[in-house]
Amino acid sequence: MKTKVALYITILLVMGSFSGIWAQVKQNINIVEVDEKAPEEIKKTSEILDKFPPTLISELTNSIKERGYAGSISFCKTRGPQIAEEFSKTFNKKIYRVSDKNRNPNQKASEDEQKVIEFWLKRIKENQPVKTVYYKVGDKTKVMKPIRIPNEMCLSCHGDLNNISSEVKEVLKKEYPQDRATGYKINDLRGAVVAEF
């Protein structure tokens, strides 16, 4: 009898622990668009994030000129995270990219980041502008800048699979066997660059 009672208590304690974790994961976040009323730290962080996509695109453009699209996939795979790391060290914030349709397994959006992406997608569907946002999650603040497909160059590796060259598809399959980052059109939401502090 004592064993059964002890087992019952243990089960209740474990379930209670999972309930607490579940509540924490499922907590709502208050998504706020960055504007002139935002705190100075948020506005400065937003300006930092504005520099990230042009930096990557500039280097990637040069790589494509030298190596072609297929030859630049490995460059993008290594250089993208390196730029994020350099930004993180320079600006003393954790900076990284995420997507709901990630190519790199390490860049899958977390649950709270996914909520922001869904918020943006809803606004796009309603023909509303999407802007950089910020929110709190636990004791952390996150600032997220939307990344959209800017031009045809990006579609050479992220566009409709029927329009991507066989050479590029072969390299993508090798480098990213679980790739989900195709089927985009110009101006589609690709994901986000995030600052966490």
Q: Where are the domains of the chain?
A: 36-196
The encoded tokens of residue 34 equal 């960055």
Q: Is the pTM for the entire model greater than 0.95? A: no
Geometric angle at alpha carbon 182, from 180 and 188, rounded to 5°: 110
The encoded tokens of residue 186 equal 């110009």
Tell me which residue has tokens 């994030």: 49
Section 171-192 average pLDDT: 95
Is 80 exceeded by the pLDDT of residue 163? yes
Question: Got the DSSP string for 156-179?
Answer: HHHS-GGGS-HHHHHHHHHH-TT-
31-42 pLDDT, tens digit per residue, is 999 999 999 999
- Local structure of 43: helix, strand or coil: helix
Section 35-57 average pLDDT: 95
Residue 81 pLDDT level (bands cut at 50, 70, 90)? very high
Section 98-125 average pLDDT: 96
Length of the chain (residues): 197
- Local structure of 83: helix, strand or coil: helix
The encoded tokens of residue 74 equal 């490995």
The encoded tokens of residue 140 equal 């952390």
Residues pairing with 94 in the sheet: 196
Is 80 exceeded by the pLDDT of residue 148? yes
Is 80 exceeded by the pLDDT of residue 134? yes
Strands across the sheet with 133-137, in order?
A: 32-33, 133-137, 140-148, 189-196, 94-98
**Average model confidence (pLDDT) for the chain?**
87
Is 50 exceeded by the pLDDT of residue 88? yes
The type of residue at 130 is: V
The more confidently predicted of residues 177 and 9 is 177
Res 28: pLDDT: 86
Spatial contact of 87 and 52, defined as CB atoms under 8 Å apart? yes
The type of residue at 189 is: L
Section 93-100 average pLDDT: 97
Q: Rounded CA gap, 146 and 52, in Å?
A: 11
Residue 8 pLDDT level (bands cut at 50, 70, 90)? very low
Is 70 exceeded by the pLDDT of residue 74? yes
Is 90 exceeded by the pLDDT of residue 18? no
Res 7: pLDDT: 37
DSSP state of 99: B
